[in-house]
Structure 1
Amino acid sequence: MLKPVINGDTEKGSVQAIEDAAVPGHVATKVDSPHTTVYIDPVLEAKLRRKFDMRILPTIALIYLFCFIDRANIGNARLAGLEEDLNMSGLDYSTLLASFYAAYTAFEFPLQMVNKWIGPGKTIPILTFFFGLFSFVMTFVETFGAAVAVRFLLGIAEGGVFPGLAFYLSRFYRKDELGFRLACYIVCAPLAGAFGGLLASGILKLDSIGPYTRWRMIFFVEGLVTMGIGIIAWFLIPDRPETAKWLTPEERALAEARLKADHVGQTRVVDQIGNKAVIDGVLNPSTLVLPTIIQTIFPDAGTIEVQLRSVPPYVVGAFTTLLSGYLSFKTRKRGLYMVISAPFMMIGYIMYLASIDPQVRYAASFMVALGAFSFGAFCNAWASANAPTDTARAASIGTVVAFGNCGGLVACFTYLPRHQPRGVPGNAFNLAGSTACLVLGAGLWAWQVKENRAKERGRDDYLLEGKTEDEIAALGRRNPAWRYAY
C-alpha cells in the first residue's frame, strides 16, 4: 500500500490511503474545503509524471507535428505550382483554405464528444490515420472541385485531433502540469512550419517520385508518413492511466488519486457524459499564410528559398512556446503569460501595417511568432484547469478550439493577393484580435481573482446545506470550496 504523507493543510485523522482515494465513489478532496484528504509524496508524483512524459508526450507531439504539416502543406504546395496545375484563379485558393476550416470548425465539438464517448486513446489514432489518408489523396486530384472536397474531408479528420490531444493529456496531468505539457506538443505547430518548409524544399529538389512531380510529391510523402504514425499510435497510447499496462497497480492508484485531488468533491476521474456537464464545459467563462507572406516580402526569391526563409520565425515561435509553457508550470500561472504574449503580436501586426520595407516586415514575422504560438497551449490549459469534470473538460476544450478556428476561416478571405504587399484587411483583423486577447485575458484573470475572494468570504457556503455527496459533486464550479485557477 502507498503510504500517505500528511499534508500540513490536512487534519490528522482525515487522511486516507491513496488506494482508497482512487476508488470510484470516493473523494480525494474535502467536499467543503480545497484541502485534500490524501497527500501525495512529491518524489513518487515526480517519478510518475516523468513516466507520463517519456511514454505519452513523444507520440502526442509526433501526431500533432504531422497534423499541422498536413494542414499547412497547402501553402508549400501553392508555391510549388498547385494553382497553375488546377487552373485556380481569383478567390479559388481562399475557398480551398476555407473548405478545410469550415469542416474543421463545424466538426470539432461533435468529434470531441466522440472522443469523450469512445475514449481519446482509440479515436486519436484513427483520426490520425484518416487525416494522413486524405492528405495522401491530394496527390491525385486533378480539378479544383476535387481538391476542395478532399480538403473538406481533411478538415473533418483533423477537427477531432487538436482538442482531442488536449483532452487526452488532461486525463494524465494535473492542472498546473498541463500547460507545459500542452506546450510540448503545441510547439510542433511552429516546428511544423519550420520542418514542413525544410521537408518541402528537400522533396522539391527531387525531379519526381514515380509519376508525381512538384507539389504532388509533398502530399505523397507527408500523407504516407502520417498514416504510419496513426497505425503506430494505436498500439502506444492508453486511453487513461487505469488502462496503461506499463503502470503498476500502485502507480495507477496514484494517478487516479492525484487527479481527484485537483477537483473539489469529485468522486470519479472519468465520469459519464451528461448534458449538465457538457453545458458547464461549453459555457465556462498564421501558419498557413506565412509562406505566402514571406513570398510577398521577398518577391524575387525562388520557391525553395521562400520555404527556407519561413523557417527562422517558426523556430523562434517554438522556443517561446516551450519557454513560456515551462515558466507557467513552475509558477502555476496561465493568464499572466497570455497577457504578456499579446503585445508582441500587436507590435508585429502594427509593423506589417506601417511599412512595406522587406526587412521591417520580416522582423514583424518574428514578433508575431514570439506572441502567437504559445496561445494554443495557454487557452486550452486555462479552460481545462477550470472545468471540474472529465466531460466538462472535453466540452470546454472543444468549444475553445472551435471558436479559435473561426479565426482561421476568416483569415482565408482577409489575406488576398489584391491586398498585397501591405495586406491591410488581414493584418488589421489580426491586430484587433491580438488586442482583444490582451483585454479579454486580463479581464478574465481579474474576474477569477474577484470570484475566488468572494468564495473565501463565504458567499457560496449555503449551497452545501442539505446536500448529499453526489449532489455536492454535481455542484462543480459552484462548490464554495472551488477555486479558479488563473
Structure 2
Amino acid sequence: MALKDSTLVPSDVEKAEVSQQEDVHDADLAKFYVAERGQVATDRHGRPLVEFDPVAEARLRWKIDLYIVPTVSLLYLFCFIDRANIGNARLAGFEKDLDLKGYDYNTVLSVFYVSYIIFEIPSNMACKWIGPGWYIPAISLAFGICSVCTGFVTNFSAACGVRFLLGIFEAGMLPGIAYYMSRWYRRSELAFRLSLYIVMSPLAGAFGGLLASGILKLPHFGGLHEWRMIFAIEGIITIGLSLIGFLTLTDRPATAKWLTQAEKDLAIARVKSERVGTTEVLDKFSKKKILRGILSPVTIGTAFIFLLDNITVQGLAFFLPTIVKTIYPKNTVVSQQLHTVPPYIVGAFFTLLFPFLSWRFDKRTIFFIISAPLCMTGYIMFLASTDAHVRYGATFLCAAGAFAFGALCNAQVANNVVSDTARSSAIGTNVMFGNIGGLISTWSFLPFDGPDYHIGNGLNFATMTMILVLSILMLLWMVMDNKKREGRDVDAELEGLSNLQVQELDWKHPGFRWKP
C-alpha cells in the first residue's frame, strides 16, 4: 500500500470518528481505512481520509490499463462490427438476396433495438451478480455465434429472429464494460479509459469497411458467398476473442492475480476514497440504491442527451455506406466501402481527444457543449448543399462531434452516484436511453427521402441542437445545486442514522457534490 510519504496523516477529528467505531493504533490506520472491513474511507463531508503516493498510483494505473483495456477494447470492436456490418452487407446484396421490400430493411434494424432496450438494465444487473470477468466474455461468445448464424439466413423472418437474439446478448456490452471499468478507476480517470474502448465504435466503422471490402474479394468462404461471408468470418473472430476474454478478465482488484497485495490495497483504497459514506467497494444489491442510480437527476438528464446523440451515432453506423453511395453512385462497391473509412478515423480521434481532456480538467459537461456544434455544422452542410464534396466533408464533422458522447455520458452518470449498485443501474439506464435513440435512428433515413435525406439530416440537426441546450442547462443546475449543498449542516442531517441508512442516501448524502 503506497501512501504519500509512506504515512497516513488523519486529522484529530477523523481519528476521533474512527475511534468511535473501533479501537485502533495509528500504525494500523492505513489498513483500517482501505480494508473491506465495513469502515468508511471519507469523512462526513466526502473528504478522503488517506493521501496516496502519486508515483505509485501512476504505476498502478498503467498496469491496470495494460491488463484491462486491450481485451475489452477488442471485444467491443467486434461487438460493434457484428451489429453494424449489416450496413456493409446491404451494399453487397443483403436486401436483394432476402427479397426485402420497402421498409423491411428498417424493420430488421429495429428488431435488434427492441431486445437491446428491454434487456439493458437487467443485463447490467446480471453483470454485477455474476461478475463482469465471466459475464462479458460469455455474452461476447453468444453474439459472435449470432453473427455467424446471420450468414445462413434465407428470408426476412429469419433475419429478424437472429437480430433479436443479437440484441439480447449485445445489450450488456457497452454498460457492462463501463460498469466494470468503474471498479478500477477514479472519477477523473474514467472518461478517458471508457474512450479507449468506446473509440472502437468509430474504428469499427472504419475497420468494418476495410474488412468487408477485403472479405468481398474472396471467392467464397466454405459454402458462403458475398455478404454471407462478412457475417460468418467476423462472427468467428468474435468467438475467438471471447475465449481469450475468459482467460484474461478478472472481476475486481481483490481477485486480480496480476496485482501484488499492496497494489490490490491501493487499487481498492483509491476508488473507495471518492465515495462518501461508503464502507465497502462492492456492496450488496439494494432496491433503494438501484433506484438512486436510475432516478438521479444527472442520470436522467445525461441519458436523454445520450438518446439524442445515439440517433446520430447509430444512424452513421447503419446508413453511412448508403449515404456514401448516394454521394458517389458511379463508384464500385469496394470503393464505396473504402470511402466510409476516413470519417470514422476522424471520429475516433475526437473520441479519444475530448475524454482525454476531460481527464486532465476533470470536466465532462463542457465537452458536451463543445461537441454538439460540430455535428450541427455538419448537418447544416448536408441540408444546404447537394455538392458531393461538401456532403462528404459533412460526414467528417458529424463523426467528430458524435462519437465522444459514449465515453463522456457513461462517465458522467458513473461519477454522479456513489455505490457500486447505483453505478450499475445508472450506466444501464444511460445506455438503455441511448439505444432508444438507436431505435429511432433505424427510421431516420427512409427510402423515399433519398438521395438527399432531408428528413434524416434535419432530425439529426434538431437533436444536436437539443443536446447543446440541455447540456448548458444541466451544467448550470449542477453548479447551483452544489452551492446549495455547501450551506447544509452535514452532521445535523446524518445524526441518528445508521451506517446502512447513510449508505442508502447515495447522491442524496449532504456531503456529496455533483461532478460536472
Q: TM-score higher than 0.5 here?
A: yes
SS of match in other structure, 1:414: coil
> Which deviations, in whole Å up to 9, do the C-alpha atoms of 1:108-153 show, x marking residues without a partner?
1111111111111111000000110000111111111101100110
Aligned equivalents of 1:2 and 1:265: distance in 2?
23
Letter in 1 for 2:131: G
Spell out the pairing of 1:172-187 with structure 2 (5 A cutoff).
172-187=184-199
Aligned equivalents of 1:125 and 1:350: distance in 2?
41
Compared CA separation, residues 362 and 278, structure 1 to 2 (3 A): same
- Stretch deviating more after TM superposition (457-466 or 351-360): 457-466
The aligned counterpart of 1:341 is 371
Compared CA separation, residues 347 and 7, structure 1 to 2 (3 A): farther
Shift of 1:427: 1.5
Tell me whether 1:251 sits opposite 2:287 in the alignment: no
The aligned counterpart of 1:11 is 11
Letter in 1 for 2:360: K
Shift of 1:6: 8.8
Shift of 1:360: 1.2
Spell out the pairing of 1:154-169 with structure 2 (5 A cutoff).
154-169=166-181
Q: Is the 8 A contact 1:5 1:38 kept in 2?
A: no
SS of match in other structure, 2:496: coil
The aligned counterpart of 1:134 is 146
The aligned counterpart of 1:27 is 40
Letter in 2 for 1:448: M
- Stretch deviating more after TM superposition (47-56 or 456-465): 456-465
SS of match in other structure, 1:37: coil
Spell out the pairing of 1:180-329 with structure 2 (5 A cutoff).
180-285=192-297, 286-329=316-359
The aligned counterpart of 2:503 is 473
Shift of 1:163: 0.6
Letter in 1 for 2:151: T
Tell me whether 1:42 sits opposite 2:54 in the alignment: yes
> Which deviations, in whole Å up to 9, do the C-alpha atoms of 1:169-206 show, x marking residues without a partner?
00000110000000111110000000000000011111
Aligned equivalents of 1:373 and 1:309: distance in 2?
18
Aligned equivalents of 1:376 and 1:10: distance in 2?
38
Tell me whether 1:149 sits opposite 2:161 in the alignment: yes
Aligned equivalents of 1:390 and 1:478: distance in 2?
15
Q: Which of these residues, 447, 453, 457, is aligned with residue 427 of structure 1?
A: 457
Compared CA separation, residues 393 and 7, structure 1 to 2 (3 A): farther
SS of match in other structure, 1:369: helix
- Stretch deviating more after TM superposition (352-361 or 58-67): 352-361
Spell out the pairing of 1:406-417 with structure 2 (5 A cutoff).
406-417=436-447
- Stretch deviating more after TM superposition (206-215 or 365-374): 206-215
Tell me whether 1:372 sits opposite 2:402 in the alignment: yes
Aligned equivalents of 1:17 and 1:416: distance in 2?
64
The aligned counterpart of 1:98 is 110
Aligned equivalents of 2:460 and 2:5: distance in 1?
50
Aligned equivalents of 1:104 and 1:18: distance in 2?
44
Aligned equivalents of 1:406 and 1:468: distance in 2?
39
Q: Is the 8 A contact 1:355 1:422 kept in 2?
A: no
- Stretch deviating more after TM superposition (447-456 or 189-198): 447-456
The aligned counterpart of 2:310 is none
Letter in 2 for 1:484: W
- Stretch deviating more after TM superposition (174-183 or 470-479): 470-479
Aligned equivalents of 1:133 and 1:254: distance in 2?
39
> Which deviations, in whole Å up to 9, do the C-alpha atoms of 1:221-256 show, x marking residues without a partner?
100000111111011010111111111111111111
Letter in 1 for 2:111: S
Shift of 1:8: 11
Shift of 1:92: 0.6
Shift of 1:4: 5.2
Q: Is the 8 A contact 1:349 1:427 kept in 2?
A: yes
Runs of 4+ in 1 over 4 A off after TM superposition: 1-10
> Which deviations, in whole Å up to 9, do the C-alpha atoms of 1:294-321 show, x marking residues without a partner?
1111111211011100000000000111
Letter in 1 for 2:130: I
SS of match in other structure, 2:367: helix
Q: Which runs of 5+ in 1 are unaligned?
A: none
Shift of 1:10: 5.3
The aligned counterpart of 1:384 is 414
Q: Which runs of 5+ in 2 are unaligned?
A: 16-25, 298-315
> Which deviations, in whole Å up to 9, do the C-alpha atoms of 1:41-83 show, x marking residues without a partner?
1111111100110000000110110001001100000000001
Q: Is the 8 A contact 1:105 1:406 kept in 2?
A: yes
SS of match in other structure, 2:205: helix
Shift of 1:37: 1.0
Aligned equivalents of 2:293 and 2:472: distance in 1?
21
The TM-score normalised by the length of structure 1 is: 0.97
Aligned equivalents of 1:207 and 1:361: distance in 2?
34
Letter in 2 for 1:258: R
Aligned equivalents of 2:119 and 2:379: distance in 1?
30
- Stretch deviating more after TM superposition (113-122 or 67-76): 113-122
Compared CA separation, residues 348 and 7, structure 1 to 2 (3 A): farther
Tell me whether 1:401 sits opposite 2:431 in the alignment: yes
Letter in 2 for 1:28: A
Shift of 1:481: 1.3
Aligned equivalents of 2:171 and 2:210: distance in 1?
26
Aligned equivalents of 1:428 and 1:281: distance in 2?
33
Aligned equivalents of 2:273 and 2:6: distance in 1?
14
Q: Is the 8 A contact 2:8 2:51 kept in 1?
A: no
> Which deviations, in whole Å up to 9, do the C-alpha atoms of 1:415-445 show, x marking residues without a partner?
1121012212222221121111111111111
SS of match in other structure, 2:119: helix
The aligned counterpart of 2:467 is 437
Letter in 2 for 1:444: M
Q: Percent identity?
A: 48
Q: Which of these residues, 115, 124, 146, is aligned with residue 112 of structure 1?
A: 124
Spell out the pairing of 1:53-64 with structure 2 (5 A cutoff).
53-64=65-76
Tell me whether 1:454 sits opposite 2:466 in the alignment: no
The aligned counterpart of 2:360 is 330
- Stretch deviating more after TM superposition (331-340 or 11-20): 11-20
Shift of 1:19: 2.4
Letter in 2 for 1:375: F
Aligned equivalents of 2:174 and 2:117: distance in 1?
11
SS of match in other structure, 1:339: helix
Shift of 1:473: 2.2
Letter in 1 for 2:11: E
